[in-house]
């Protein structure tokens, strides 16, 4: 029940994005999977700072640093980033 409600919520978000102007990057709004759940989130970059993978391929976790929202492809990338943000230019 909860799962289907969440699915409907994501669907309605995607649907409302496709109608009329929106601040969401159309490339992110069109992507499926995890990215859809984050389609209302404004990321400070469109790639994983650790492995440089495009976030359009999927977002497993996020981290907020100095008000910037960062997306990570896996929890492992997020842990590596948290351990030493300076390695990745933060």
Residues β-bridged to residue 12:
none
Q: Least distance to Zn ion from the beta carbon of 47, Å?
A: 9
**Residue ranges that bind Zn ion, judged by CB under 5 A:** 48, 50-51, 53, 73, 77
Q: Least distance to Zn ion from the beta carbon of 37, Å?
A: 17
Closest CB to Zn ion among residues 35, 77: 77
> For 1-90, where are the E strands, in sequence order?
61-65, 68-72
Backbone angles phi, psi at 61, to 5 degrees: -155, 160
Closest CB to Zn ion among residues 31, 77: 77
């Amino acid at each position: 029940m909860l799962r289907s409600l969440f699915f409907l919520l994501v669907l309605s978000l995607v649907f409302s994005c496709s109608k009329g102007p929106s601040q969401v990057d159309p490339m992110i709004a069109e992507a499926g999977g995890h990215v859809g759940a984050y389609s209302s989130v404004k990321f400070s970059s469109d790639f994983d700072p650790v492995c440089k993978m495009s976030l359009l391929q999927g977002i497993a976790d996020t981290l907020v640093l100095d008000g910037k929202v960062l997306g990570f492809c896996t929890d492992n990338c997020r842990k590596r980033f948290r351990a030493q943000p300076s390695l990745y230019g933060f």
